[in-house]
Amino acid sequence: MFKAKWKADIGTSHDRCKKLKIDADQVSSKKIIYDDGELQKRFATSRDLILTAAPYMEQLINFVKGSNFFALLTDGDGCILNAIGDEKILSEAFSMKMIPGAFMNEENIGCNAMSMVIKTGAPIQVSGTQHFIKAYHKWTCSAAPIKDSNGQLIGALNLTGYIEQVHPHTLGMVVAASNAIEEMLKIKSYNKVQSINNKHIKNMFNAIPIAIITTDVNGKIKLCNEKALKMFGNIEGKPRVAEIKEFVEEWDKIKNEIFLGKNISQEVNIIALRNKFQCHLTANSIYNFVEESIEIVYSFEETKKAKKKNNGQAYYTFNKVIGEDENFVKVVQYAKKIADSKSTILIMGESGTGKEVFAQSIHNYSNRVDGPFVALNCGAIPKQLIESELFGYEEGSFTGAKKGGNLGKFELADGGTIMLDEIGEMPLDMQTKLLRVVQEGTITKIGSSKSIPVDVRIIAATNKDLKVEVELGRFRKDLYYRLNVLPIYLPPLRERKSDIPLFIDYFLKYISERIGKKDLVIPNEYLKKMMNYSWPGNIRELENFVELIINTECIPVGYFGEENWENEVLVDINKESLTLEYAEKEHLVKILKRFKGNITRSAEALGIRRNTLYSKIKKYEIDI
């Protein structure tokens, strides 16, 4: 019944082609797309079909390799998209214009397997004289449709060989391949939808302003959003730790309560990458149907108390250090290398070069990251108070002493890092006491004779040349050598000019967001001036300068040493000033001033007619 039906259809098709008076020997009369642009457009439309079908076509040819077969893929219109096969028979096919871009539908080439598939939407095998084209009578073609998920015909797969080589099962192989292609196209379509949905869910997950983490029942972290990474610390986009118990204190107790079916809502202490603080935690268990397992979802919201507690902690990491200058990058690499050492570090550099940024980054990169980071500016504290600030005091040790005494910076930094900024400003008598701490690792509070051991990594910083200070007798030589074990020199901004645009871009964005101002674009002429300026205040001066121009939307003329300027004159740098019209107006004003408002001479200098100049003066409302 099946064969009879297709024979009848083939006969009808053959008769219809005869009526069209198509010469069976004129194979070259078929429609072929020769325009490369049009052909590429058709290939692009069928890209998924071509890529998906390719491995199945290869597999078909491998099954019959050496038996002189070739495989064709067409789109739903019968246009050949791909052709592969044994060299001999494929060369014959190409000589008869069976090439990519040629149409194999009934209207163009008469009865063949592909045209019948396109017409009927069902698989078929056409052999010998059943082909309308006489040149095809030596072949048997087996073809099957390829349909999309909605059942619409999108292409045809064909396997052709000499009559004597074709087996009845050849059609079955082609049908199996076309079915596999259809299934793969469905899977790809499903995966594409899933990918879009997953991206949408991920964006929503990361947009939540509360830290969210999921774990298995044993506390192993599975997922966390970007807020959690920022709050608890991360390394290259991944949590610093693998298990939640490593940064949530009393997690075992929380876990037991969850096992008892309780919903958790309480304050917890967090041990994060940078410091310790407090969060409000809610935790609930859920059932994962995919993995058939229990998961726990945690949400962390930092409390106001915790935020207050964070003051003075180390926030900067090397990930936030800006700079691509070759020598500066070497300094960063060196600082990372020595971060875990117990030896004392001396950071040297001019004011504004980022000494505290480096000190914090070293702390956060070291094995002391979970300990405190305490900074003290030795030049900002009165001489009479610096000892009590560093070492603390006992109750009643002096008039006005706090009841119960007070902890010094070294005790507060125990287990972590202390940064002694502007160490060159420290009085000589205090340098002697600091030397003892460096040598022995102990401190003595004011009003006490008891030595207290402290485990503190010292990072000293200075903008002075301590060698010169030693020669002048203002700094102890023995303390200098104790501090200068691991020296780091931070170059001034004028020695890393290639980094200036990076800082400008960063400060423009950061400061605009912080103070709620609109984005600005700095003209190239001023960028060049900023690149060539010496910046004696270094990064700090550049940051303040960018904040000035963001607030005023102007650059003060003369800042970079220009001559003939007045303090009140400002150069507008908002985006409007970068338009051609603005530039034209400014140029017109300049020329008119040069010729003292003389229209004739100004027009001659500009190379325009007097009437044109009058029109532009009116347009820009220029006062002459």
Q: For residue 599, what is the domain's CATH number?
A: 1.10.10
Q: Is residue 167 very low, low, confident or very high in pLDDT (cuts 50, 70, 90)?
A: confident
**Choice among 45-54, 284-293, 532-541 with the minimum mean pLDDT:** 284-293
Q: Cβ distance 81 to 100 under 8 Å?
A: yes
Residues 284 and 266 in one domain: yes
Indicate whether 195 belongs to any domain: no
More confident residue, 369 or 396: 369
Q: What percent of the chain has pLDDT over 70?
A: 85
> What CATH number is attached to the domain comprising 409?
3.40.50.300
Q: Does 19 have pLDDT greater than 90? A: no
Based on its alpha-carbon atoms, the radius of gyration of the chain, rounded to whole angstroms, reads: 40
Q: What is the mean pLDDT of residues 455-475?
A: 94
> What is the C-alpha to C-alpha distance for residues 58 and 51, in angstroms, rounded to an integer?
12
> What is the C-alpha to C-alpha distance for residues 293 and 101, in angstroms, rounded to an integer?
54
What values do phi and psi take at 273, rounded to 5?
A: -60, -35
Give the tokens for residue 565.
């300027």
Residues 608 and 529 in one domain: no
More confident residue, 130 or 490: 490
Q: Does 165 have pLDDT greater than 80? A: no
> What CATH number is attached to the domain comprising 251?
3.30.450.20
Residues 50 and 182 in one domain: yes
> What CATH number is attached to the domain comprising 525?
1.10.8.60
Which of 467, 491, 515 corresponds to the end of one domain?
491
| H or E segment to which residue 176 belongs | helix 169-207
User: Quick one: pLDDT at residue 23?
Assistant: 44
Give the tokens for residue 154.
């999108």
> What CATH number is attached to the domain comprising 65?
3.30.450.40
> What is the C-alpha to C-alpha distance for residues 217 and 156, in angstroms, rounded to an integer?
52
Residues 601 and 550 in one domain: no
Residues 110 and 125 in one domain: yes
Structural domain count, the chain:
5
Q: How does 542-576 read in b/e, with b if 16+ C-beta sit within 10 Å?
A: bbebbbebbeebbbbeebeeeeeeeeeeebebeee
Indicate whether 573 belongs to any domain: no
Q: Cβ distance 272 to 232 under 8 Å?
A: yes
- State the average pLDDT for the chain: 82
- pLDDT tens across 175-188, in order? 999 999 999 988 88
User: Which is it for the CA torsion 112, 114, 120, 126, positive or negative?
Assistant: positive
Indicate whether 201 belongs to any domain: no
| Domain carrying residue 274 | 208-309
Q: Is residue 489 very low, low, confident or very high in pLDDT (cuts 50, 70, 90)?
A: very high
Q: What is the mean pLDDT of residues 37-64?
A: 89
User: Quick one: pLDDT at residue 435?
Assistant: 93
> What is the C-alpha to C-alpha distance for residues 472 and 521, in angstroms, rounded to an integer?
48
User: Quick one: pLDDT at residue 401?
Assistant: 61
- pLDDT tens across 494-553, in order? 999 999 999 999 998 888 888 877 777 787 778 888 998 999 999 999 999 999 988 888
297 DSSP β-pair partners: 214, 284
Give the tokens for residue 1.
């019944």
Residues 413 and 362 in one domain: yes
> What is the C-alpha to C-alpha distance for residues 407 and 393, in angstroms, rounded to an integer?
7
Angle at 409 between CA 408 and CA 414, to 5 degrees: 105
Q: Does 29 have pLDDT greater than 90? A: no
**The model's pTM:** 0.47
Indicate whether 196 belongs to any domain: no
Residues 484 and 509 in one domain: no
- pLDDT tens across 227-247, in order? 888 777 654 445 556 787 877
Residues 363 and 430 in one domain: yes
Q: Cβ distance 313 to 331 under 8 Å?
A: no
User: Quick one: pLDDT at residue 388?
Assistant: 86
- pLDDT tens across 118-129, in order? 999 999 999 888
Indicate whether 180 belongs to any domain: yes
Residues 484 and 524 in one domain: no
Which stretches within 366-475 are classed as H helix? 383-391, 409-412, 428-440, 466-471
Q: What is the mean pLDDT of residues 137-157?
A: 92
Which of 309, 343, 358 corresponds to the end of one domain?
309
Indicate whether 575 belongs to any domain: no
Indicate whether 199 belongs to any domain: no
Strands (E), 364-478: 373-377, 392-393, 406-407, 417-421, 442-444, 451-453, 457-462
User: Which residue from 124, 184, 118, 126 is spatially nearest to 156, judged by alpha carbons?
Assistant: 118
Residues 232 and 279 in one domain: yes
Q: Is residue 456 very low, low, confident or very high in pLDDT (cuts 50, 70, 90)?
A: very high
Residues 290 and 343 in one domain: no
Residues 29 and 14 in one domain: yes
User: Quick one: pLDDT at residue 292?
Assistant: 61
More confident residue, 491 or 316: 491
Determine the number of helices (DSSP H) and then strands (DSSP E) in the chain.
23, 23
Which position has the token pair 């207290």?
A: 452
> What is the C-alpha to C-alpha distance for residues 323 and 349, in angstroms, rounded to an integer?
16
Largest CA distance in the chain: 121
Q: Does 618 have pLDDT greater than 60? A: yes
Indicate whether 253 belongs to any domain: yes
Which of 491, 509, 536 corresponds to the end of one domain?
491
What values do phi and psi take at 97, rounded to 5?
A: 60, 30
Q: Is residue 343 very low, low, confident or very high in pLDDT (cuts 50, 70, 90)?
A: very high
Torsion of CA 242, 243, 246, 247, to 10 degrees: 90
Q: What percent of the chain has pLDDT over 90?
A: 33
Strands (E), 132-174: 139-147, 153-162
